[in-house]
Amino acid sequence: MKVTLAMKPAAKSFIPIEAESIVPKNFLAGTDLLVWRGNRELRLDEVFSVSVEGDADHLEDVEVVLSGDTFRLKRVGEYMDGGKITVLGGIGMHCGNFMSGGTIEVHGNADGWLGREMAGGTILCRGDAADYCASGYRGGRKGMTGGTVEVFGRAGDFLAESIAGGTVTVHGDAGDMAGRRCTAVRSLFTGTAAARVRT
């Protein structure tokens, strides 16, 4: 099953949209989902043109494709445990928080906190990732515990902060404080061109 969510140009707003409901699992039961913009709850089809091709019985067969101006769309793929999300453009903050399985592929740039505290699964970011990529929460002792994050562009500051497991590979430069407070690290950094935190 392929679910395509094309952001409606009219839905673009200064206030970001919080879309923690956009995880493949939820689409097994249909597309009747809600997202928040500020303190207002909106139906998915108020924000996106929704189209569904085929159907699926298993989580692994679900692919969600996001297109349009999605750089202010937050928390996509939070607590995701399987399936695939493909973002054709950029993605907003907190994409793939607490993710434990499946794949997120971002073709554009990712805003801050990509894959925060993830426990499993794969995140591929073809563009740049902003600060706190694959990190823990502010003040927390334990960040990412498993899974893989691969960034093909640059990563911002605090990459893989307090990482306690999993693999983070950055092909471009990493910002300041990469791997700060990390526990369980075998190698960190292989030059400015590739920052690598591997456990």
Partner 1 sequence: MNELLIKNACVIDPLRGINAETMDIAIRDGRIVEEVSGAAEVIDAHGMLTLPGGVDSHTHICGTKVNFGRYMSPEDMRAGRTPRRGPLHATSGYSVPTTYGNSYRYSVMGYTTLLEGAMAPLEARHTHEEFLYTPLQDTMANVLFDGNWGIMEAIRDGDTKRVAAIIAWTLRAVKGFAIKLTNPGGTEAWQWGKNVSCIRDPVPYFEVTPAEIIRSMVEANELLHLPHSVHLHCNNLGTPGNYTCTLGSLGLIPDLNKKRQTLYATHVQFHAYGGSDWRDISSKSEPIANFVSMRPQIVMDMGQVMFGRTTTMTADGPMEFNLYRLHHEKWSNHDVELETGSGIIPVIYRRKNLVNSIMWAIGLELALLTKSPWQCLLTTDNPNGAPFVRYPEIIGLLMSKKYRDAEFATLHPDTASRVPLPAIERELDWYEIAVMTRAGQAKALGIQEFGKGHLGPGADADVAIYPLRIDEVDPSTDYHKVVDAFSQTEYTIKRGRVVARRGECLVDGSNATFWVSPKVSEAYDMGKDPDFIEKFDRYYTVRMRNYPVQDEYLNRNRCIETETEL
Site size toward partner 1 (CB under 8 A) is 5
Q: What is the closest distance, in whole angstroms, from the C-beta atom of residue 139 to partner 1 in the complex?
A: 4
- Burial of residue 42 (CB within 10 Å: 0-12, 13-18, 19+) is middle
Task: State phi, psi for 13 to the nearest 5 degrees.
Answer: -150, 160
Single out the residue of 9, 30, 139, 191 in contact with partner 1 (rule: CB under 8 A). 139
Q: What's the longest Cα–Cα distance across the chain?
A: 48
40 binds partner 1 (CB under 8 A): no
Whether residue 43 contacts residue 21, with contact meaning beta carbons closer than 8 Å, is answered with no
Single out the residue of 137, 145, 146, 180 in contact with partner 1 (rule: CB under 8 A). 137
* Smaller CB separation from partner 1, 164 or 174: 164
* Smaller CB separation from partner 1, 24 or 112: 112
Q: What is the DSSP letter of 46?
A: H
Question: Which residue's entry shows tokens 């707003």?
Answer: 13
Q: What is the closest distance, in whole angstroms, from the C-beta atom of residue 182 to partner 1 in the complex?
A: 15
Q: What is the closest distance, in whole angstroms, from the C-beta atom of residue 128 to partner 1 in the complex?
A: 25
Chain positions 88 to 107 lying near partner 1, rule: CB under 8 A, are none
140 binds partner 1 (CB under 8 A): yes
Whether residue 143 contacts residue 136, with contact meaning beta carbons closer than 8 Å, is answered with yes
Q: In the stretch 54-83, what mask flags binding to partner 1 with x, by CB under 8 A?
A: ------------------------------
Single out the residue of 40, 54, 138, 193 in contact with partner 1 (rule: CB under 8 A). 138
CA atoms within 13 A on the CB side of 148: 8
* Smaller CB separation from partner 1, 92 or 143: 143
Angle, CA of 94, 119 and 75, to the nearest 5°: 15
Q: Which residues bind partner 1 (CB under 8 A)?
A: 137-141
